[in-house]
Each structure stands twice: as C-alpha cells, then as structure tokens.
C-alpha cells in the first residue's frame, strides 16, 4: 500500500476503534421531512440544521461515536456559531462522512426492484466533499426479499455499483462504507434472510475483487440476519446473533477491518441487544463489529426534541444514552441496567420508512 492508502487504512481503523461506532445522520430532505411530520415538526432548512446540530454537539459524543455520515444539505450548512458543521465535527475528533449514492431507483426489467444510482460525476463530487472535510463515504444498495426476489439482475447490478463506488472512493482517498441492505420488510423467515444475505455478500465481494478494491481500506455495513417483520415466527436474540455471525464468517473476507451494522427498522433497544449478543458469541472474530445506526440512535432523540428549543438538552441526553449503550454493545458489555429510559413497546414511528 502507498502512504495515502496507509492513511486511508488508518482512517478505517479509527472509525472502528474500540468502543466506537458511526452515527448515520444522512437522511435526505424528503425522508427527514417525513420523520418530522410524524411529530408535527416543521421541516425547513433551519429546523433540519438545528436538529443535526443538536445531534452533532451532544456533549461527550466523541467518546462513543467515531464518525458521522451527513448528506449534501448538511455538509454545506454552517452551525449556529458560524463554522461549517463538518468543522464542528472534526473539532471534536469526530470524522465527517458523506452519503454519495443518489437513491434507489427502479431497475429496468426487474419489477419491484431497485438499483442505487449516483456513479455519474462521482469522482468530482468526492473531490468537492473532500475539500469540505469529508474523509469517508457511504453508498446504500437495497435488496427486497419476496417469493421470487431478489433477482440475479438486481443483486448483480447493485454489487457492481457498490464496487465501482468503492473503487472511486479509494482513488479519491476516502474510506468507502459498502452498504448492501437486505430489507426486513416482508414475511420471510430468518433462514431465508440468511440465504439471501449470504448470496448478496458473496456477489458484493466478487464485484469488489473485480474492481480492484482494497479490502483493508473499507468498512462493510450489512443488515443483521433477522426474520421479516411480518413473519409469524420471530427469532430470539441468540438466534439472530448466531445466524448473523455465521453468515458474516462465511461471506466476508477477514481482510475487511470492520463491520458496522445498519439498524434497518429494528426497535432501538433490540438493535443494541443484537449487537451485544453478536459480540459476546465465542469463536474467531477477525475484525471489529460495531454500529452505524440511523433510526436506532436517533429515534429517542427526535421524540425528546419535538422541534422545540427548550428540549434540545433532552434530545442530546437521549442520543448520548443510545450511543453509550451501543458503544458497550460493540464490546459485548451492554446490560439491561444501562437503560434508564422508561418506555414500554415501540412508538409508532419506530418501524418503517427509509427510502433513501
């Protein structure tokens, strides 16, 4: 590896340093607006900035969070104090990251399936984001499970796009986060999820190899292996952990320095418990296994904030609590006693939409 790729490899290692994970705060404007709507919060450039700034400046965040993924609007915004939000992050020792796919679009010839777009002009966009301080990037591919899905066409097209993206990132000295998400939507069993996740990961790593991507300088952001939300038999925490780790051992080369899960619509505490159980399983784990959660880190903070200035501190306490618990889970040290929030069940916004 050259010295610049050594720098990028160091950055990848920093993102999965002991007890640290990533906050995905990269919802596009329409997705964040839908979340705000659930709580009657008006979505304006200003309110979205206030929300992001609340998350980014939660006191002590850097203890548990290594990097934060932004999207285009956010990386261009300035904090209320003046400096750009990206600078506010790096000032706290948090690495700024950027989502660079432009969304999952219908895949021609494959009804009900999508391919994530955004390769055109990506080299120039990465260079622009690099000048704004971003050091790592994210690209999300979306795979649906249904009776006859996913199709080979969909898996192949998404794997190819992920690999082309990752190669461009490495050329531009970014650490790529490669995110093939097999959705929890549907009534499929955990066994089906494991089979599909395995096939998808296999296709992704074949494509990464073909595009000359250095596995040492990337992170994988997969789904956990979990039954579909409508499946009559929901698996236990132990079953989910065992199936997830087995699938990753079989299909992810050990050269990859870190796996950072997405939460995918799991209840926030369940996402923490699953991460903890995975890290507590015996047997070889050749790399760090941590989190890159969006909803599972943010939901309670959004609910506490409700768009009101007087709740900013409560919002920051809420995200701090989730980050602290997930940090412990990344080390296999999470316990129920760490939970101080008194809630029963999941509020309605917990399950559902993410269309970017």
Interface positions with ligand 13P (CB under 6 A): 24, 140, 179, 262-264, 293-296, 354
From 5, 61, 12, 7, select the one nearest 288 (Cα to Cα): 12
From 71, 79, 84, select the one nearest 125 (Cα to Cα): 71
Separation between Cα atoms, residue 38 and residue 35, nearest integer Å:
5
Separation between Cα atoms, residue 266 and residue 264, nearest integer Å:
6
* Active-site annotation holder among 20, 99, 221, 288: 221
- Specify whether the CB–CB gap between 68 and 25 falls below 8 A: yes
Region of 315 on the Ramachandran plot (φ > 0 left; ψ -120 to 50 alpha; else beta): alpha
- Output the smallest distance, CB 313 to ligand 13P, in A: 24
For residues 7 and 73, which CB has a smaller minimum distance to ligand 13P in the complex?
73
The two tokens of residue 106 are 């219908």
Per the annotation, the verdict on 138 as an active-site residue is no
- Specify whether the CB–CB gap between 159 and 203 falls below 8 A: yes
The distance in angstroms from the start CA to the end CA of the chain is 34
- Output the smallest distance, CB 233 to ligand 13P, in A: 23
Bond from prior residue into 150 cis (ω within 30 degrees of 0)? yes
The two tokens of residue 49 are 């900035």
- Output the smallest distance, CB 223 to ligand 13P, in A: 8
**Would you list the DSSP string of 208-245?**
HHHTT--GGG-EE-PPP----TT-SSPPPHHHHHHHHH
- Output the smallest distance, CB 1 to ligand 13P, in A: 28
* Active-site annotation holder among 179, 181, 194, 303: 179
For residues 62 and 270, which CB has a smaller minimum distance to ligand 13P in the complex?
270
For residues 140 and 251, which CB has a smaller minimum distance to ligand 13P in the complex?
140
- Output the smallest distance, CB 265 to ligand 13P, in A: 6
Point out the residue whose Cβ comes nearest to ligand 13P.
294
Per the annotation, the verdict on 179 as an active-site residue is yes
Residues in the chain, total: 356
For residues 53 and 179, which CB has a smaller minimum distance to ligand 13P in the complex?
179
- Is residue 103 helix, strand or coil? coil
- Output the smallest distance, CB 43 to ligand 13P, in A: 18
- Specify whether the CB–CB gap between 312 and 305 falls below 8 A: yes
For residues 30 and 254, which CB has a smaller minimum distance to ligand 13P in the complex?
30
For residues 196 and 297, which CB has a smaller minimum distance to ligand 13P in the complex?
297
The residues assigned a catalytic role are 179, 221
């Amino acid at each position: 590896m050259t010295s610049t790729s050594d720098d990028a490899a160091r950055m990848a290692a920093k993102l999965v340093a002991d007890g640290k994970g990533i906050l995905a705060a990269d919802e596009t404007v329409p997705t964040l607006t839908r979340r705000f709507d659930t709580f009657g919060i008006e979505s304006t450039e200003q309110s979205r900035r206030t929300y992001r700034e609340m998350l980014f400046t939660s006191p002590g965040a850097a203890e548990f969070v290594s990097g934060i993924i932004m999207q285009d609007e956010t990386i261009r915004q300035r904090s209320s104090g003046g400096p750009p939000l990206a600078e506010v992050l790096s000032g706290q020792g948090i690495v700024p990251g950027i989502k660079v796919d432009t969304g999952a679009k219908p895949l021609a010839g494959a009804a009900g399936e999508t391919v994530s777009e955004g390769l055109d002009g990506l080299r120039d966009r990465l260079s622009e984001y690099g000048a704004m301080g971003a050091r790592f990037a994210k690209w999300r591919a979306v795979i649906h499970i249904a009776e006859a899905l996913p199709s080979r066409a969909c898996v192949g097209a998404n794997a190819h796009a992920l690999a082309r993206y990752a190669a461009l990132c490495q050329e531009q000295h970014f650490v790529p986060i490669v995110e093939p998400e097999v959705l929890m939507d549907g009534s499929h069993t955990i066994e089906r999820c494991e089979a599909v996740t395995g096939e998808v990961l296999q296709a992704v790593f074949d494509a990464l190899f073909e595009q000359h991507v250095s596995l040492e300088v990337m992170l994988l952001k997969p789904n956990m292996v979990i039954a579909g939300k409508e499946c009559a038999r929901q698996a236990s925490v132990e079953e989910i952990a065992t199936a997830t780790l087995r699938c990753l051992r079989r299909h992810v080369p050990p050269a990859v320095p870190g796996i950072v899960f997405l939460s995918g619509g799991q209840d926030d505490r369940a996402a923490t418990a699953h991460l903890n159980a995975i890290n507590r399983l015996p047997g070889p784990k050749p790399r760090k296994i941590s989190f890159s959660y969006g909803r599972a880190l943010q939901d309670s903070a959004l609910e506490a904030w409700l768009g009101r200035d007087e709740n900013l501190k409560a919002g920051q306490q809420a995200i701090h609590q989730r980050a602290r618990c997930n940090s412990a889970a990344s080390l296999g040290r999470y316990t129920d006693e760490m939970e101080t929030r008194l809630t029963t069940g999941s509020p309605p916004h917990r399950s559902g939409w993410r269309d970017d």
